[in-house]
Structure 1
Amino acid sequence: MNQLPTLDASAARAAAQSHFRTLRLGTPFQPRIDALARTNDWYNWAGYRAPHSLWDEELEYFAIRSQAALFDISPMTKYRIAGPDAEAFLNRVTLRDVTKLKSGRVHYTAWCDDDGFVLDDGTLFRLSPTRFRLCSQERHLPWLLDSATGFDVTVEEETEAVAGLALQGPTSFAVLRDAGFAGVERLRVFDLAEFPHDHGTITISRTGFTGDLGYELFVPADKALSLWDRLILAGELRGIRAIGYTALNRARLEAGLIVANADFTTSEHAIRADRLRMPDEI
């Protein structure tokens, strides 16, 4: 005769099933973000536990517009593309003319499937004549590797190895200056440069997703917490606040900036043929 499961057995089964509903990945900044979380409002960003909000989504938005807002962009997909043919390879697979992208500059671009429909969009950072970083919403490593056939180039995903922060808002420059990043005042819009940090270097670009004054900082994962602490300490008198995606999303909508699979459907995700989009349509 079958017996009903005991309470302990039912609880164990429920705990086992919850494994599949729990976001397991944390970014290198997760200890600091978890310590600030008051709303407990999380979402899944490419498998990472990311905050919709941390304390108050409306006040977080106003931190972008009147102070300095810190947002963790580590889950953003990042590829290191390097080699003698890196420029030629990227000029073939992306839409904008990469030969015009100088070292120390960033440009916005997109890339398409074989039928000309947009696979994704993102930012291309030229770190040196033969080294690039491509940042995107979706993962494209197999497609990039297939497209690299015949080119003397290496393509590696570095999403986990490189942490990222967006520092946005009218006092963001003052925070970086007070944090000791000498020379950051020379960065024009879409410029990038390397700066010393914690016995190593980080990359700072004058880019962002808010339409406001802002910067993006890329740091080796093992130096992430020291960078966070350096910025928070320097920004204390400048009103620096950590924010979640809801506030950032409001700012990017005001700026007219688009997001793949939110404002348009990428060709890999489109189920209906009439949802495919070419670049000029977007």
Structure 2
Amino acid sequence: MSTVALRHRLAERGVDRVLLLLVPGTVFIALLFLYPFLYGLQLSFQPAVGGPLANYERFFTDAYLRDTIWITLRLGLPAALINVLASIPIAYRMRGRFRGKRLITTILVVPITLGTVLTAEGLIEYLSPVGWFNKVLLGLGLADEPVRLVHNYWGVLFSLIITGFPFAFLLTLSYLSGIDPSLERAAATLGASPRQRFRHVVMPLLAPGLAVTFCLSFVLAFSVFPSAIMVGEPQGETHVISIAAYNSAFRDFDYPMGSAIAMIMAVVMLLVIGLVLLWRTTLYRGSTGGKG
């Protein structure tokens, strides 16, 4: 069949030829994501001992493994929430034009280039018991002994905030830039104060975008691994679910159990994302009066 005939055939069936450009991307996603996911899923139902659900039963009956869900949520949810909330006022101010904007934006996104490992090393250098932060506190007499800010929960949380904030900031800035400034000017002509304009005009339009930003930030934080080891307590209060999956697969060489934990990890993330997107849909319907 000639190219011209194929084009006519597609046109008759109402198929946009531009959609064919999605084929390579679809194949790439299938090979890179779907196949490993489906392979891991079926592997999780092949335990070394017991029935098909033995790995899942073992996970939820073992308190040390089961608690990794709560430990990871306790890190991921606050980190995502803090990053989103912190990005709002900064992005709101940065959306306009002013001198030094590019420099400030560059400084804010620098942690992306550093990576998780360098960030963790920096936290150890500055926040450890012999780091400059504790030296300042002790020197000023604000503390009698060094404050423990690394190799615990706080070290991992700080690392997640530092590495995750640039993504939340850039996404929030892009959503704010898409809001028509004339809407705020119209509200101003009606006597609305800056705070009222932000609360009643900007935030309702920004909220759906913030929900997506929170979801992406949460996925990044929930999959924490290097930080939990380098600046956390991997066998204790920062024994996150990714460490449990790694230990099962590569320390104990129990790949079916590691796959089962990875599947549980994915389900927890999808549940949180689903709840946030459900809130986003409800919010959108409320703002449009249930129309559409």
> Structure 1 length normalisation: TM-score?
0.30
Higher strand share: 1
> Structure 2 length normalisation: TM-score?
0.30
Higher helix share: 2
Instruction: Give 1 or 2 for the bigger CA radius of gyration.
Output: 2
